[in-house]
Structure 1
Amino acid sequence: MRIGVVTFPGSLDDRDAARAVRLAGGDAVELWHADADLHGVDAVVLPGGFSYGDYLRAGAIAGMAPVMRAVVDAARGGMPVLGICNGFQVLCETHLLPGAMIRNDRLRFVCRDQPLRVENADTAWTSAYEPGERIVVPLKNIDGCYVADERTLDQLEGEGRVAFRYDGHNPNGSLRDIAGVTNAAGNVVGLMPHPEHAVEPTVGPGSTDGLGFFTSVLETIEGMARA
Protein backbone atom coordinates (compact mmCIF):
# COMPACT_ATOMS: atom_id res chain seq x y z
CA MET A 1 0.00 0.00 0.00
CA ARG A 2 1.47 3.29 -1.17
CA ILE A 3 1.23 6.34 1.07
CA GLY A 4 2.33 9.61 -0.49
CA VAL A 5 4.15 12.14 1.68
CA VAL A 6 4.20 15.65 0.21
CA THR A 7 7.31 17.82 0.48
CA PHE A 8 6.79 21.57 0.20
CA PRO A 9 9.67 24.08 0.31
CA GLY A 10 10.02 24.48 4.07
CA SER A 11 8.66 21.07 5.08
CA LEU A 12 10.74 19.55 7.87
CA ASP A 13 8.81 16.49 9.05
CA ASP A 14 8.34 14.76 5.71
CA ARG A 15 11.10 12.21 6.37
CA ASP A 16 9.66 11.46 9.80
CA ALA A 17 6.22 10.89 8.29
CA ALA A 18 7.70 8.59 5.65
CA ARG A 19 9.51 6.61 8.34
CA ALA A 20 6.26 6.25 10.30
CA VAL A 21 4.56 4.89 7.18
CA ARG A 22 7.31 2.32 6.70
CA LEU A 23 7.28 1.28 10.36
CA ALA A 24 3.54 0.67 10.06
CA GLY A 25 4.15 -1.59 7.07
CA GLY A 26 3.36 0.75 4.20
CA ASP A 27 5.36 1.96 1.21
CA ALA A 28 6.21 5.66 1.54
CA VAL A 29 6.17 7.56 -1.76
CA GLU A 30 7.75 11.00 -2.08
CA LEU A 31 5.49 13.64 -3.64
CA TRP A 32 6.88 17.05 -4.59
CA HIS A 33 4.84 20.25 -4.26
CA ALA A 34 5.04 20.84 -8.01
CA ASP A 35 3.75 17.38 -8.95
CA ALA A 36 0.60 17.57 -11.03
CA ASP A 37 -0.60 14.11 -10.01
CA LEU A 38 -0.30 11.72 -7.08
CA HIS A 39 1.49 8.89 -8.91
CA GLY A 40 -0.97 6.19 -7.97
CA VAL A 41 -0.76 6.49 -4.17
CA ASP A 42 -3.54 5.13 -1.95
CA ALA A 43 -3.41 7.90 0.67
CA VAL A 44 -1.58 11.18 1.32
CA VAL A 45 0.16 12.73 4.33
CA LEU A 46 0.73 16.49 4.45
CA PRO A 47 3.59 16.83 6.96
CA GLY A 48 4.58 19.50 9.43
CA GLY A 49 7.02 22.33 8.87
CA PHE A 50 6.89 25.87 7.55
CA SER A 51 5.79 25.49 3.94
CA TYR A 52 6.98 28.39 1.79
CA GLY A 53 8.30 30.00 4.99
CA ASP A 54 4.72 30.49 6.24
CA TYR A 55 4.68 33.72 4.23
CA LEU A 56 1.32 35.43 3.86
CA ARG A 57 -0.31 33.00 6.33
CA ALA A 58 0.62 29.54 7.62
CA GLY A 59 -0.31 27.01 4.93
CA ALA A 60 -1.81 29.58 2.57
CA ILE A 61 0.73 29.36 -0.27
CA ALA A 62 1.03 25.58 0.05
CA GLY A 63 -2.72 25.37 -0.42
CA MET A 64 -2.25 26.75 -3.94
CA ALA A 65 0.58 24.36 -4.91
CA PRO A 66 -0.03 22.16 -7.98
CA VAL A 67 0.00 18.96 -5.92
CA MET A 68 -2.83 20.27 -3.74
CA ARG A 69 -5.20 20.45 -6.70
CA ALA A 70 -4.71 16.70 -7.07
CA VAL A 71 -4.98 16.13 -3.31
CA VAL A 72 -8.24 18.08 -3.07
CA ASP A 73 -9.79 16.14 -5.95
CA ALA A 74 -8.64 12.82 -4.51
CA ALA A 75 -9.87 13.66 -1.01
CA ARG A 76 -13.29 14.62 -2.33
CA GLY A 77 -13.32 11.25 -4.07
CA GLY A 78 -12.69 9.42 -0.80
CA MET A 79 -8.90 9.08 -0.64
CA PRO A 80 -7.56 9.19 2.94
CA VAL A 81 -5.61 12.40 3.64
CA LEU A 82 -3.85 13.31 6.90
CA GLY A 83 -2.60 16.81 7.67
CA ILE A 84 -0.16 17.17 10.56
CA CYS A 85 0.55 20.62 12.04
CA ASN A 86 1.40 22.68 8.94
CA GLY A 87 -0.49 20.05 6.97
CA PHE A 88 -3.57 20.74 9.12
CA GLN A 89 -3.19 24.42 8.27
CA VAL A 90 -3.04 23.52 4.57
CA LEU A 91 -6.22 21.42 4.85
CA CYS A 92 -8.02 24.38 6.39
CA GLU A 93 -6.72 26.72 3.69
CA THR A 94 -8.03 24.42 0.96
CA HIS A 95 -11.37 24.05 2.79
CA LEU A 96 -11.06 20.30 3.02
CA LEU A 97 -11.50 20.94 6.74
CA PRO A 98 -13.39 23.82 8.37
CA GLY A 99 -11.92 26.49 10.62
CA ALA A 100 -8.52 28.15 10.68
CA MET A 101 -5.27 28.15 12.62
CA ILE A 102 -4.04 31.38 14.20
CA ARG A 103 -1.17 32.44 16.46
CA ASN A 104 -1.01 30.71 19.85
CA ASP A 105 -2.80 32.66 22.56
CA ARG A 106 0.45 33.17 24.51
CA LEU A 107 2.22 34.30 21.30
CA ARG A 108 4.99 31.79 21.91
CA PHE A 109 6.28 28.71 20.16
CA VAL A 110 5.17 25.61 22.07
CA CYS A 111 7.18 22.37 22.15
CA ARG A 112 6.12 19.61 24.55
CA ASP A 113 4.85 16.06 24.87
CA GLN A 114 1.12 16.57 24.67
CA PRO A 115 -1.64 14.33 26.07
CA LEU A 116 -4.61 13.95 23.72
CA ARG A 117 -8.01 12.38 24.13
CA VAL A 118 -9.37 10.43 21.18
CA GLU A 119 -12.86 11.70 20.43
CA ASN A 120 -13.55 9.96 17.13
CA ALA A 121 -12.11 6.50 16.48
CA ASP A 122 -14.20 5.96 13.35
CA THR A 123 -12.07 7.68 10.71
CA ALA A 124 -9.58 6.39 8.16
CA TRP A 125 -6.74 7.49 10.44
CA THR A 126 -8.02 6.69 13.94
CA SER A 127 -9.61 3.23 13.83
CA ALA A 128 -6.71 1.71 15.79
CA TYR A 129 -7.77 3.70 18.86
CA GLU A 130 -10.69 3.56 21.24
CA PRO A 131 -13.05 6.49 21.91
CA GLY A 132 -11.85 8.26 25.02
CA GLU A 133 -8.38 6.73 24.83
CA ARG A 134 -5.56 8.95 26.09
CA ILE A 135 -2.41 9.13 23.98
CA VAL A 136 0.74 11.26 24.22
CA VAL A 137 2.47 12.68 21.14
CA PRO A 138 4.80 15.66 20.66
CA LEU A 139 3.44 19.13 19.90
CA LYS A 140 5.43 21.97 18.32
CA ASN A 141 3.81 25.06 16.83
CA ILE A 142 3.32 28.79 17.00
CA ASP A 143 0.24 29.03 14.77
CA GLY A 144 -1.63 26.22 16.48
CA CYS A 145 -4.76 27.85 17.88
CA TYR A 146 -7.78 26.31 16.17
CA VAL A 147 -10.67 28.73 15.66
CA ALA A 148 -14.06 28.66 13.94
CA ASP A 149 -17.37 30.44 14.34
CA GLU A 150 -19.82 29.09 16.92
CA ARG A 151 -22.10 27.58 14.29
CA THR A 152 -19.21 25.58 12.81
CA LEU A 153 -18.01 24.48 16.24
CA ASP A 154 -21.50 23.33 17.17
CA GLN A 155 -21.77 21.44 13.89
CA LEU A 156 -18.43 19.69 14.48
CA GLU A 157 -19.54 18.71 17.96
CA GLY A 158 -22.98 17.56 16.85
CA GLU A 159 -21.64 15.45 13.97
CA GLY A 160 -18.84 13.90 16.03
CA ARG A 161 -16.20 15.50 13.86
CA VAL A 162 -13.88 16.60 16.66
CA ALA A 163 -11.22 13.91 16.29
CA PHE A 164 -8.95 14.87 19.21
CA ARG A 165 -8.94 17.23 22.17
CA TYR A 166 -6.10 18.43 24.34
CA ASP A 167 -6.34 16.45 27.55
CA GLY A 168 -5.81 18.53 30.67
CA HIS A 169 -3.74 21.52 29.56
CA ASN A 170 -4.69 23.47 26.44
CA PRO A 171 -1.28 24.59 25.10
CA ASN A 172 -2.31 27.16 22.49
CA GLY A 173 -5.83 28.42 23.22
CA SER A 174 -7.64 26.29 20.65
CA LEU A 175 -11.39 26.73 20.99
CA ARG A 176 -13.12 23.94 22.92
CA ASP A 177 -9.68 22.30 23.41
CA ILE A 178 -9.82 21.01 19.83
CA ALA A 179 -6.57 19.40 18.68
CA GLY A 180 -7.85 17.78 15.50
CA VAL A 181 -10.94 17.46 13.32
CA THR A 182 -12.25 15.29 10.51
CA ASN A 183 -14.42 15.88 7.49
CA ALA A 184 -17.93 14.44 7.32
CA ALA A 185 -16.81 11.35 5.40
CA GLY A 186 -14.01 10.55 7.85
CA ASN A 187 -11.30 10.20 5.20
CA VAL A 188 -9.66 13.58 5.87
CA VAL A 189 -8.16 14.26 9.30
CA GLY A 190 -6.07 17.18 10.50
CA LEU A 191 -4.36 17.65 13.86
CA MET A 192 -1.77 19.94 15.38
CA PRO A 193 0.33 17.43 17.38
CA HIS A 194 2.79 15.11 15.65
CA PRO A 195 1.98 11.38 15.73
CA GLU A 196 4.92 10.64 13.43
CA HIS A 197 7.26 11.58 16.29
CA ALA A 198 5.77 8.91 18.57
CA VAL A 199 6.24 5.69 16.61
CA GLU A 200 9.30 4.21 18.32
CA PRO A 201 9.81 3.59 22.06
CA THR A 202 13.37 4.95 22.05
CA VAL A 203 12.59 8.45 20.72
CA GLY A 204 10.04 11.21 21.30
CA PRO A 205 7.85 10.65 24.36
CA GLY A 206 9.09 7.06 24.65
CA SER A 207 5.90 5.50 23.33
CA THR A 208 4.39 4.30 20.08
CA ASP A 209 1.09 6.12 20.64
CA GLY A 210 1.27 7.78 17.22
CA LEU A 211 1.76 4.61 15.21
CA GLY A 212 -1.97 3.90 15.23
CA PHE A 213 -2.57 6.70 12.72
CA PHE A 214 -0.54 4.86 10.13
CA THR A 215 -1.72 1.33 10.89
CA SER A 216 -5.29 2.66 10.78
CA VAL A 217 -4.96 3.99 7.26
CA LEU A 218 -3.35 0.79 6.01
CA GLU A 219 -6.32 -1.17 7.36
CA THR A 220 -8.67 1.36 5.77
CA ILE A 221 -7.00 1.00 2.38
CA GLU A 222 -7.12 -2.78 2.63
CA GLY A 223 -10.82 -2.60 3.44
CA MET A 224 -11.44 -0.28 0.49
CA ALA A 225 -9.65 -2.73 -1.80
CA ARG A 226 -11.85 -5.61 -0.62
CA ALA A 227 -15.09 -3.64 -1.03
Structure 2
Amino acid sequence: MKKGIGIMLLGFVLLLAACGSNEKQAETSDKLTIQLDEKNVTADANDIFTVTGKATPGATISIGDVSVDANKKGTFELMHIYESDKSYEIVASKKDLTETRATVHVTQPAAVKEEQKEQEQAAKDKAQKEVTENAKPNAAKISFAMLNGNPDKYARESYYLKGQVAEVTDGGATKYLKVNMTQDGGTWKDTVMVIYTGTTEAKKGAIVEVYGTIYGTYAFDDANGKTIAMPGITASSISVLE
Protein backbone atom coordinates (compact mmCIF):
# COMPACT_ATOMS: atom_id res chain seq x y z
CA MET A 1 0.00 0.00 0.00
CA LYS A 2 2.75 2.37 1.01
CA LYS A 3 4.62 1.47 -2.16
CA GLY A 4 1.57 2.36 -4.24
CA ILE A 5 1.20 5.73 -2.50
CA GLY A 6 4.89 6.46 -3.10
CA ILE A 7 4.52 5.73 -6.79
CA MET A 8 1.49 8.03 -6.98
CA LEU A 9 3.38 10.85 -5.24
CA LEU A 10 6.33 10.43 -7.59
CA GLY A 11 4.03 10.63 -10.59
CA PHE A 12 2.40 13.78 -9.21
CA VAL A 13 5.80 15.42 -8.71
CA LEU A 14 6.84 14.56 -12.28
CA LEU A 15 3.56 15.98 -13.57
CA LEU A 16 4.12 19.26 -11.72
CA ALA A 17 7.65 19.45 -13.08
CA ALA A 18 6.39 18.90 -16.62
CA CYS A 19 3.73 21.62 -16.19
CA GLY A 20 6.33 24.01 -14.85
CA SER A 21 8.56 23.28 -17.83
CA ASN A 22 5.67 23.91 -20.25
CA GLU A 23 4.81 27.17 -18.51
CA LYS A 24 8.45 28.23 -18.72
CA GLN A 25 8.50 27.42 -22.45
CA ALA A 26 5.31 29.38 -23.00
CA GLU A 27 6.73 32.31 -21.08
CA THR A 28 9.90 32.19 -23.17
CA SER A 29 7.94 32.08 -26.42
CA ASP A 30 6.07 35.24 -25.38
CA LYS A 31 9.31 37.23 -25.25
CA LEU A 32 10.09 39.34 -28.32
CA THR A 33 13.61 38.75 -29.59
CA ILE A 34 15.93 40.43 -32.10
CA GLN A 35 19.46 39.49 -33.07
CA LEU A 36 21.52 41.39 -35.65
CA ASP A 37 23.92 39.66 -38.03
CA GLU A 38 26.25 42.66 -37.80
CA LYS A 39 26.29 45.54 -35.30
CA ASN A 40 28.56 47.63 -37.53
CA VAL A 41 27.52 48.11 -41.15
CA THR A 42 28.68 50.22 -44.09
CA ALA A 43 26.58 52.45 -46.32
CA ASP A 44 27.04 52.15 -50.08
CA ALA A 45 27.71 54.82 -52.71
CA ASN A 46 23.96 55.41 -53.07
CA ASP A 47 23.67 56.37 -49.37
CA ILE A 48 21.83 53.15 -48.48
CA PHE A 49 22.69 50.72 -45.69
CA THR A 50 21.20 47.29 -45.00
CA VAL A 51 20.55 45.61 -41.65
CA THR A 52 19.89 41.87 -41.48
CA GLY A 53 19.17 39.53 -38.60
CA LYS A 54 16.67 37.28 -36.90
CA ALA A 55 13.71 38.16 -34.69
CA THR A 56 10.45 36.70 -33.42
CA PRO A 57 8.56 35.49 -36.54
CA GLY A 58 6.03 38.09 -37.69
CA ALA A 59 7.59 40.90 -35.65
CA THR A 60 7.83 44.33 -37.27
CA ILE A 61 11.41 45.58 -37.49
CA SER A 62 11.80 49.33 -37.94
CA ILE A 63 14.23 52.23 -38.05
CA GLY A 64 12.18 55.41 -37.70
CA ASP A 65 9.27 55.18 -40.14
CA VAL A 66 10.90 52.50 -42.33
CA SER A 67 9.93 48.94 -41.44
CA VAL A 68 9.72 45.32 -42.60
CA ASP A 69 8.19 42.18 -41.09
CA ALA A 70 10.29 39.21 -40.05
CA ASN A 71 9.31 36.12 -42.09
CA LYS A 72 8.05 32.77 -40.75
CA LYS A 73 11.61 31.80 -39.88
CA GLY A 74 12.20 35.14 -38.19
CA THR A 75 14.79 36.45 -40.64
CA PHE A 76 14.59 40.04 -41.91
CA GLU A 77 16.39 42.52 -44.17
CA LEU A 78 15.84 46.24 -43.62
CA MET A 79 17.24 48.98 -45.88
CA HIS A 80 17.49 52.62 -44.81
CA ILE A 81 18.90 55.92 -46.04
CA TYR A 82 22.33 56.81 -44.66
CA GLU A 83 22.27 60.23 -42.98
CA SER A 84 25.67 60.40 -41.31
CA ASP A 85 28.17 58.26 -39.40
CA LYS A 86 26.16 57.45 -36.29
CA SER A 87 24.21 54.78 -34.40
CA TYR A 88 20.66 53.92 -35.46
CA GLU A 89 18.10 52.35 -33.11
CA ILE A 90 16.27 49.30 -34.42
CA VAL A 91 12.91 48.45 -32.85
CA ALA A 92 11.19 45.05 -32.93
CA SER A 93 7.47 45.21 -32.14
CA LYS A 94 4.47 42.88 -32.21
CA LYS A 95 0.95 43.12 -30.88
CA ASP A 96 0.61 42.35 -27.14
CA LEU A 97 4.39 42.02 -26.74
CA THR A 98 6.90 44.44 -25.27
CA GLU A 99 9.14 46.18 -27.80
CA THR A 100 12.74 45.04 -28.04
CA ARG A 101 15.51 47.35 -29.26
CA ALA A 102 18.95 46.95 -30.75
CA THR A 103 21.55 49.37 -32.06
CA VAL A 104 23.58 49.33 -35.25
CA HIS A 105 26.44 51.72 -36.00
CA VAL A 106 26.65 52.90 -39.60
CA THR A 107 29.62 54.42 -41.38
CA GLN A 108 30.51 55.24 -44.98
CA PRO A 109 34.00 54.71 -46.43
CA ALA A 110 36.08 57.86 -46.87
CA ALA A 111 36.62 56.97 -50.53
CA VAL A 112 32.87 56.98 -51.17
CA LYS A 113 32.45 60.32 -49.42
CA GLU A 114 35.28 61.83 -51.43
CA GLU A 115 33.82 60.53 -54.69
CA GLN A 116 30.42 62.01 -53.84
CA LYS A 117 32.07 65.32 -52.96
CA GLU A 118 33.87 65.37 -56.30
CA GLN A 119 30.62 64.58 -58.16
CA GLU A 120 28.78 67.37 -56.34
CA GLN A 121 31.56 69.85 -57.14
CA ALA A 122 31.57 68.77 -60.80
CA ALA A 123 27.81 69.33 -60.96
CA LYS A 124 28.20 72.79 -59.42
CA ASP A 125 30.99 73.67 -61.85
CA LYS A 126 28.86 72.54 -64.78
CA ALA A 127 25.87 74.57 -63.58
CA GLN A 128 28.08 77.63 -63.05
CA LYS A 129 29.54 77.26 -66.54
CA GLU A 130 26.06 77.12 -68.06
CA VAL A 131 25.02 80.24 -66.12
CA THR A 132 28.15 82.13 -67.22
CA GLU A 133 27.77 81.13 -70.87
CA ASN A 134 24.07 82.04 -71.08
CA ALA A 135 23.95 85.04 -68.76
CA LYS A 136 25.14 87.79 -71.12
CA PRO A 137 23.15 86.61 -74.17
CA ASN A 138 19.99 86.47 -72.02
CA ALA A 139 20.70 89.90 -70.52
CA ALA A 140 20.97 91.32 -74.03
CA LYS A 141 17.50 89.95 -74.83
CA ILE A 142 15.80 90.75 -71.51
CA SER A 143 15.89 94.49 -70.82
CA PHE A 144 15.14 96.01 -67.43
CA ALA A 145 11.76 97.19 -68.76
CA MET A 146 10.84 93.61 -69.70
CA LEU A 147 12.21 92.22 -66.44
CA ASN A 148 10.46 94.85 -64.34
CA GLY A 149 7.18 94.36 -66.20
CA ASN A 150 6.95 90.64 -65.40
CA PRO A 151 9.87 89.27 -63.35
CA ASP A 152 8.22 85.89 -62.82
CA LYS A 153 8.03 85.28 -66.58
CA TYR A 154 11.83 85.05 -66.69
CA ALA A 155 12.37 83.15 -63.44
CA ARG A 156 15.32 80.70 -63.49
CA GLU A 157 16.79 82.29 -66.65
CA SER A 158 20.55 82.92 -66.52
CA TYR A 159 21.28 86.63 -66.21
CA TYR A 160 24.12 89.14 -66.10
CA LEU A 161 24.24 92.73 -64.96
CA LYS A 162 26.72 95.45 -64.23
CA GLY A 163 25.59 98.17 -61.87
CA GLN A 164 26.10 100.34 -58.83
CA VAL A 165 25.27 99.13 -55.32
CA ALA A 166 22.66 101.37 -53.70
CA GLU A 167 22.31 99.45 -50.43
CA VAL A 168 23.64 96.31 -48.73
CA THR A 169 21.70 94.35 -46.11
CA ASP A 170 23.53 91.63 -44.20
CA GLY A 171 21.23 88.69 -43.55
CA GLY A 172 23.96 86.52 -42.08
CA ALA A 173 24.86 83.82 -44.61
CA THR A 174 22.82 85.65 -47.25
CA LYS A 175 23.49 89.21 -48.44
CA TYR A 176 20.86 91.42 -50.10
CA LEU A 177 22.14 94.13 -52.43
CA LYS A 178 19.97 96.72 -54.11
CA VAL A 179 21.76 97.36 -57.39
CA ASN A 180 20.94 100.02 -59.98
CA MET A 181 21.66 98.29 -63.28
CA THR A 182 21.26 101.08 -65.87
CA GLN A 183 23.77 103.89 -66.23
CA ASP A 184 22.24 107.22 -67.23
CA GLY A 185 24.99 109.77 -67.70
CA GLY A 186 26.69 110.14 -64.34
CA THR A 187 23.95 108.36 -62.40
CA TRP A 188 22.55 104.85 -62.13
CA LYS A 189 18.88 103.79 -62.07
CA ASP A 190 16.58 100.75 -62.49
CA THR A 191 16.90 98.87 -59.20
CA VAL A 192 16.97 95.11 -58.77
CA MET A 193 17.52 93.05 -55.62
CA VAL A 194 20.57 90.83 -55.82
CA ILE A 195 20.44 87.87 -53.44
CA TYR A 196 23.80 86.28 -52.69
CA THR A 197 24.74 83.46 -50.32
CA GLY A 198 28.38 83.93 -49.42
CA THR A 199 30.80 86.74 -48.63
CA THR A 200 31.33 89.83 -50.76
CA GLU A 201 33.32 93.04 -50.45
CA ALA A 202 30.63 94.98 -52.32
CA LYS A 203 29.60 98.16 -50.48
CA LYS A 204 27.29 101.05 -51.18
CA GLY A 205 28.52 102.97 -54.21
CA ALA A 206 30.63 100.09 -55.57
CA ILE A 207 30.36 99.07 -59.23
CA VAL A 208 29.75 95.34 -59.41
CA GLU A 209 29.41 92.64 -62.02
CA VAL A 210 26.84 89.94 -61.24
CA TYR A 211 26.28 86.50 -62.78
CA GLY A 212 23.27 84.49 -61.68
CA THR A 213 19.67 83.55 -62.42
CA ILE A 214 16.48 85.56 -62.33
CA TYR A 215 14.64 84.98 -59.05
CA GLY A 216 11.36 86.50 -60.19
CA THR A 217 9.47 89.06 -58.09
CA TYR A 218 11.26 89.85 -54.82
CA ALA A 219 8.96 91.48 -52.25
CA PHE A 220 9.83 92.88 -48.82
CA ASP A 221 8.51 95.34 -46.24
CA ASP A 222 10.31 98.64 -45.76
CA ALA A 223 10.83 100.42 -42.44
CA ASN A 224 7.31 101.84 -42.60
CA GLY A 225 5.74 98.45 -43.18
CA LYS A 226 5.02 99.16 -46.84
CA THR A 227 5.49 96.20 -49.20
CA ILE A 228 8.04 96.88 -51.93
CA ALA A 229 8.38 94.61 -54.97
CA MET A 230 11.16 94.56 -57.55
CA PRO A 231 12.94 92.09 -59.82
CA GLY A 232 15.22 89.70 -57.94
CA ILE A 233 18.47 88.15 -59.14
CA THR A 234 19.97 85.14 -57.36
CA ALA A 235 23.70 85.66 -57.77
CA SER A 236 26.16 82.83 -58.21
CA SER A 237 29.07 85.31 -58.29
CA ILE A 238 29.66 88.99 -57.55
CA SER A 239 32.81 90.82 -58.62
CA VAL A 240 33.65 94.32 -57.42
CA LEU A 241 34.99 96.31 -60.38
CA GLU A 242 35.54 99.70 -58.70
TM range (shorter): under 0.3
Q: Higher strand fraction: Structure 1 or Structure 2? A: 2
> Normalising to structure 1: TM-score of the pair?
0.24
> Normalising to structure 2: TM-score of the pair?
0.23
